[in-house]
Structure 1
Amino acid sequence: MTAVDTDGWVRTSREGAVLTVTLDRPDQLNAQTPATWAALKAVGDSLDDGVRVVVVRGEGRSFSAGLDRSLFSGDPATAGGLGQLGSMPAELAQERIREYQAGFRWLRSPGIVSVAAVQGHAIGAGAQLALACDLRVMTENASLRLPEATLGLVPDLTGTSTLAELVGYGRAMEVCVTGRPVTAAEALTWGVANAVVPAGELDAAVATLVAALTAPPVGAVRETAALVRSAVRNTPEAQDAAERAAQARRLAELAGR
């Protein structure tokens, strides 16, 4: 089954427990707009309990080159543009950005593991979409870049927290402030990429990873994913308690209670 959002250029298809979300604007290198983020949020809102893995892809030669150029207009009349946001009262601008962030944050929802399949450029919003996923498979020619600071802006689509979790304070600071690209080789060394493969092997590598993610019992995967996510923020004591509670639930299920 395939569904297409023609306004946001987002296409979805599902095969069993695996949902694939594709940015489908290859002629514009999958540049994103507020309609894209609304479409992504709608996908997250529509998830059902049968989905175990979400794969995020970009059609064509690049994952996503970031914001559509039209959004850089300083004209307050440009819908969704930076000028329009800048002309709003701070509270309203923040609420609008919060809505945009919701198109990214759901990729770490309870019950799913998300995988970004990244080829070519992943810039700005594109990099943050890849970072929003739990795991990333990148092609050898791929790179991630967060250039917002060099444009007088900040990464605001959940990118700072997800990057810092992955690479630590120092590297995240350097990448976010300088805006330099992170190559696939660096991403692999830093733990941002789980695998780096030739461009022609991306589909096969993602399929292999998805098969491994869906092989264990669903309950065990969901509990384990929740524990790994909480581990980066919990105190050791809180995490120990979370592990105990999760294991008790798994044992009770296995015992038929």
Structure 2
Amino acid sequence: MGTENLLVDIKDGVALLTINRPKVLNALHTSVIAELQETFEALNANQAVKAVVITGSGEKAFVAGADIAEMAVMDAQQALVFARTGQKLVNYIGTMPKPVIAAVNGFALGGGMELALACDFIYASENAKMGLPEVTLGIMPGFGGSQKFARLLGRSRANELIFTGKMLTAAEAKEWGIVNAVLPLAELVGKALETAARIAGNGLLGVAHVKEAIRRGLDMTEPDGMDYESVLFASLFASRDQKEGMGAFVEKRKPNFTGS
């Protein structure tokens, strides 16, 4: 499995997806966005895949941004289509039931930062640099960055970061709550795969329902979010995974979850 610009390796329920354009720092051309959309849809449909890790090829960049050479000649209508295409991708990643971990191995700027933010959480290498520098090019974030940063960081910090176009170091990004862990470059992907494997060993339906509860609950009042959580919680008691997980606990054995 893979495409012209993407490498995919599936092992023990975990898919490692690598954006493979190191000569242009893995920049997001329209064709790459289309390939990512198709690949994520395929991974989501693949019953052998329980979790996904996405990273960039080489040691310099996760994704240095959208392809500036392509964007430079766009008119307003083309830019709208481009933004909506990117937003479709990040929305799909954020709403697909399978968890996605970003292993940011260098620059994650502009569209690359927005791609990482679409994932469920981020691990970064010590050499990572992250931010939304679009205003330094006379534009603004278009793949949801203004909305995601405002929700993650709060209005003031999002305003400061985006207005200035500042790049954060990996340590700063961790301090700001953007990344969960900072690791040596050589250990980054291995750690992300290890975490993904641990997730893959859990009940896939339970993980998917937690992802949905958190994502949708953030747009609800706390009482409404708790009510929604209880509905999802109860629905799992009609699943085979619930019977298997609790049965395995009582019988003191390892569960064999099937995602059903």
Q: TM tier, shorter chain?
A: 0.7 to 0.9
Residue 185 in structure 1 maps to residue 183 in structure 2: no
CA distance in 2, matches of 1:93, 1:69: 12
2:86 to 100, 103, 106: 100
What does residue range 110-189 of structure 1 map to in structure 2 within 5 Å? 110-189=96-175
Q: Which amino acid aligns with 1:117?
A: A
Range that drifts further, 219-228 or 96-105: 96-105
Q: Deviations over 1:114-161 (max 9, x none)?
A: 111011111111111111111101011111021111211110112222
Q: Deviations over 1:159-179 (max 9, x none)?
A: 222222322221111111111
Q: Which amino acid aligns with 1:59?
A: S
1:59 to 51, 57, 60: 57
CA distance in 2, matches of 1:255, 1:126: 41
Q: Deviations over 1:178-233 (max 9, x none)?
A: 11011111111222111111111112211221122223211211111111112221
Call closer, same or farther: CA 1:141–1:96 in 2, change over 3 Å: closer
Q: Which amino acid aligns with 2:190?
A: A
Percent of residue pairs identical? 31
CA distance in 2, matches of 1:110, 1:198: 29
- SS of structure 2 residue aligned to 1:137: strand
CA distance in 2, matches of 1:183, 1:96: 28
Kindly indicate whether the alpha-carbon contact (under 8 Å) linking 2:123 and 2:179 is maintained by their aligned counterparts in 1. Answer: yes
Measured after TM superposition, the shift of residue 12 of structure 1 is 2.3
Measured after TM superposition, the shift of residue 255 of structure 1 is 5.7
CA distance in 2, matches of 1:40, 1:110: 13
User: In angstroms, what is the RMSD of aligned CA positions?
Assistant: 1.9
**Corresponding residue number in structure 1 for 2:232:** 246
- SS of structure 1 residue aligned to 2:45: coil
CA distance in 1, matches of 2:121, 2:147: 15
2:45 to 48, 52, 75: 48
Range that drifts further, 228-237 or 54-63: 228-237
Length-normalised TM-score, structure 2: 0.85
Length-normalised TM-score, structure 1: 0.86
**Corresponding residue number in structure 1 for 2:255:** none
Kindly indicate whether the alpha-carbon contact (under 8 Å) linking 2:12 and 2:197 is maintained by their aligned counterparts in 1. Answer: no
**Corresponding residue number in structure 1 for 2:67:** 68
Q: Which amino acid aligns with 1:33?
A: H
CA distance in 2, matches of 1:99, 1:37: 8
2:222 to 215, 219, 236: 236
CA distance in 1, matches of 2:190, 2:20: 20
Kindly indicate whether the alpha-carbon contact (under 8 Å) linking 1:52 and 1:111 is maintained by their aligned counterparts in 2. Answer: no
Q: Which amino acid aligns with 2:180?
A: N
Kindly indicate whether the alpha-carbon contact (under 8 Å) linking 1:150 and 1:177 is maintained by their aligned counterparts in 2. Answer: no
Figure out how many residues of one structure are paired with residues of the other and give that number: 239
Q: Which amino acid aligns with 2:178?
A: V
Kindly indicate whether the alpha-carbon contact (under 8 Å) linking 2:51 and 2:197 is maintained by their aligned counterparts in 1. Answer: no
CA distance in 1, matches of 2:213, 2:127: 33
Contiguous gaps of at least 5 residues in structure 2: 245-260
Kindly indicate whether the alpha-carbon contact (under 8 Å) linking 1:137 and 1:195 is maintained by their aligned counterparts in 2. Answer: yes
